Amino acid sequence: MRLPLVGAAASSGRRTLWWVRAALGALGVAALGYALFGFLANVPPAQLIGVAAWLAVALLVHDGVLVPLTTLVGGGLSRFTFGLSPVQQGIVRGALLVGAVATLVAAPLIRAQQVLQPRGPGSGVNNTVLQGDYALALGVFWVVLAVAAAVVVAAVGLYGRRSKVRKIRS
């Protein structure tokens, strides 16, 4: 059921919101046009085929691997998070998805570091390539992510419990 708008203030606010949305949409379309023009002006035509192939493979990997995998994992998570509210389950799923994407980004760096910088005497390590300790950084990221997600899940649980108590007492 929609509530009727009362007074001129509500309709002018709605009109203002429409203009803000239209301006942001126009700004986004302009930015996309500028990026596309810059891309086409700076990339040689021979490389456009490679870019198109990369985009096609990225689309196939996303729709053929990542989406089904996250759907299956999300369904399996509902069994492990059955005591949590839907909001808390969403927080856990979101945190795991962020961690998985960060791991997906860091994995090639960790592997390249192992291949390009072997340890030991006479290895000829080049310290200017892949300087960071990506495995340690990924581990710290997962710990911080887990703690942050646990704190937010607990806070949402406490807030939900408090609001239920207030509703019962009222």
Identity at 76, one-letter amino acid code: G
Q: Where are the alpha helices (DSSP H) in the chain?
A: 7-42, 45-61, 67-80, 86-116, 134-169
Neighbours of 31 (CB within 10 A): 10
For 160, residues 6+ apart whose C-beta sits below 8 A from its C-beta are: 85, 87
Kindly state the average pLDDT of the residues 41-51: 91
pLDDT for residue 64: 93
pLDDT at 26 > cutoff 90: yes
Given a cut of 70, whether residue 10 has pLDDT beyond it is no
Sequence ranges of the domains in the chain? 8-42, 44-70, 81-170
Supply the pTM of this predicted model.
0.60
Q: Which two tokens stand for residue 94?
A: 């979101």
Q: Which two tokens stand for residue 80?
A: 């492990």
**pLDDT for the residue numbered 99:** 94
Which band of pLDDT confidence, cut at 50, 70 and 90, is reported for residue 71? confident
Residue 102 to residue 148: CA distance in whole angstroms: 15
CB-based contact 134:113 (threshold 8 Å): yes
pLDDT at 67 over 90: no
Mean pLDDT lowest among 29-38, 41-50, 118-127, 128-137: 118-127
What pLDDT digit, counting tens, does each position of 125-162 carry? 666 667 788 999 999 999 999 999 999 999 998 887 66
Q: What is the pLDDT of residue 11?
A: 63
- Beta-carbon neighbour count of residue 110 at 10 Å? 17
Mean pLDDT to the nearest integer, 83-97? 90
